[in-house]
Amino acid sequence: MKKIITLKEALEKIKQLKTTYYFKRESEHVSIPDSVGRELSEDIVADYLSPVFDISAMDGFAFRCEDKYPLKISGSVYAGDSIVKINRGEAMAIATGAILPEGADTVLKIEDSEVRKSLLNGKKLKTWENVFRKGSDYHAGDMIFEKNHRIMPQSVALLYSLGIERVPVYKKIRAGIISTGTEIFNGMIKNTNAVLIQGFMKEMGCESTFVGAVQDDYIKTKTMLLEVCKKFDVVFTTGGVSVGERDFVADVITEIGEILFHRVAIKPGKPLAVGIVKGIPVFSLPGKPTGALTALEIVVRSYFTDLPRATHELMINEDVMLPEKDFEYILFVKIVNNKASSMGRQMKLFDREYNTAIISASPRSAVVEGYVITNRDIGKGELVNVYLFN
């Protein structure tokens, strides 16, 4: 059996896996609204400059910087108006977003101005102060987004300004899900892990299909895994990755492909196996529901996104004692009165010593706002870094 690896080592192996396999997908063109959350399959280069004109960045007065106060106010210009011209010694009231009058090269903010009988006085300005210069956003030929960029809402606004109507993106990752275990196959227990993975994949902006369950049978597991790897971009399996007599998923992957690692020094979630079968990444999750969630969140998520979870420092309202010191422990917490409180503790699943075996088996224990990662005991009242789910 291969040795257990650290969380840091597991994340590095996931990073290497992503570098090789993540973008091995065909591309398609989608509408701008539908591109949010997708990755660009091509570089995006500007065809023209923006803005086309010098634009006022403030409400105020436009004039020639070298002219001396007082200046005669000769009119006003608003966003959407045509280009106007001012003469030497004149100023013009201007609104934010309006095209700078021909002959002007600076804008005095309205709060810095003093107007008496149509004459303007104010502070000394520099050339082009409070002016959004022509071409300062981008020029023709500028690289705007590089290939593989994940599109955010602010990205689509810029894509629209570039005149792009259909955005080149990679097709969504398609995941196939296999549940192992005779008890799942026979319907003796609910298949919560398959639903968990489908929810996770939806959050990642991917598509997923539950292919089916397979009994605790080496040949049948091997046959199904080979078949599913022909049809999907990634494959998930659940169960069969611990050290029991019928836990042979990692052995199946080793026989028909390559196992990258099996067992990570995290609790819950330790029996995670990751491998490659027929050029397809395979993520084999623990069978216990919260163990499966932990493996997904702490390790596998980094394959699908580089965006970190937001964090918040909070005081913990209880002691947590770790049974072993060579693991990273994931403590799922609810936020109550701006303090972190372990859901498992509230449910009486442990008392001081963090019982990951019981936590792993309880789907309810992870219905929380966030989690803490620790490799040491935590004392009541300590500040902890909470990774937030929302």
Which CATH number do you get for residue 315?
A: 2.40.340
Between CA 343 and CA 351, with CA 345 as vertex, the angle to 5 degrees is 165
Same domain, 164 and 198: no
- 362 within 8 A of 289, measured Cβ to Cβ: yes
pLDDT of residue 354: 81
Reading the chain (390 residues) residue by residue, the pLDDT tens digits are 568 999 999 999 999 999 999 999 999 999 999 999 999 999 999 999 999 999 999 999 999 999 999 999 999 999 999 999 999 999 999 999 999 999 999 999 999 999 999 999 999 999 999 999 999 999 999 999 999 999 999 999 999 999 999 999 999 999 999 999 999 999 999 999 999 999 999 999 999 999 999 999 999 999 999 999 999 999 999 998 887 777 799 999 999 999 999 999 999 999 999 999 999 999 999 999 999 999 999 999 999 999 999 999 999 988 889 888 889 999 999 998 899 988 777 777 777 788 888 888 888 888 899 999 999 999 999 999 999 997
pLDDT of residue 2: 66
Same domain, 220 and 101: no
Same domain, 333 and 377: yes
Same domain, 279 and 337: no
Same domain, 120 and 227: no
Residue 1 domain flag: no
Same domain, 74 and 186: no
Same domain, 315 and 299: no
- 207 within 8 A of 174, measured Cβ to Cβ: yes
- 192 within 8 A of 360, measured Cβ to Cβ: no
Residue 137 domain flag: no
Q: Give Cα 279 to chain centroid, integer Å.
A: 25
pLDDT of residue 153: 93
Residue 191 domain flag: yes
Same domain, 319 and 292: no
Last residue of a domain, one of 304, 332, 350: 304
Instruction: Determine the structural domain holding residue 100 and report its residue range.
Output: 55-132
Which CATH number do you get for residue 64?
A: 2.170.190.11
DSSP assignments along 131-180, one per residue: EE-TTSSB-TT-EEE-TTPBP-HHHHHHHHHTT-SEEEEEPPPEEEEEEE
- 92 within 8 A of 168, measured Cβ to Cβ: no
Handedness of CA 82, 83, 87, 92 (dihedral sign): positive
Residue 329 domain flag: yes
pLDDT of residue 14: 98
Structure tokens at 348: 């009486």
- Note the pTM of the prediction, 2 decimals: 0.86
Q: What's the maximum distance between 2 C-alpha atoms anywhere in the chain?
A: 94
Same domain, 196 and 274: yes
Structure tokens at 224: 């199904």
Structure tokens at 33: 């609204």
Same domain, 17 and 93: no
Beta strands in 263-325 (DSSP E): 266-267, 273-277, 280-285, 311-316
Which CATH number do you get for residue 200?
A: 3.40.980.10
Same domain, 199 and 254: yes
Last residue of a domain, one of 249, 280, 304: 304
Last residue of a domain, one of 304, 323, 344: 304
Same domain, 183 and 298: yes
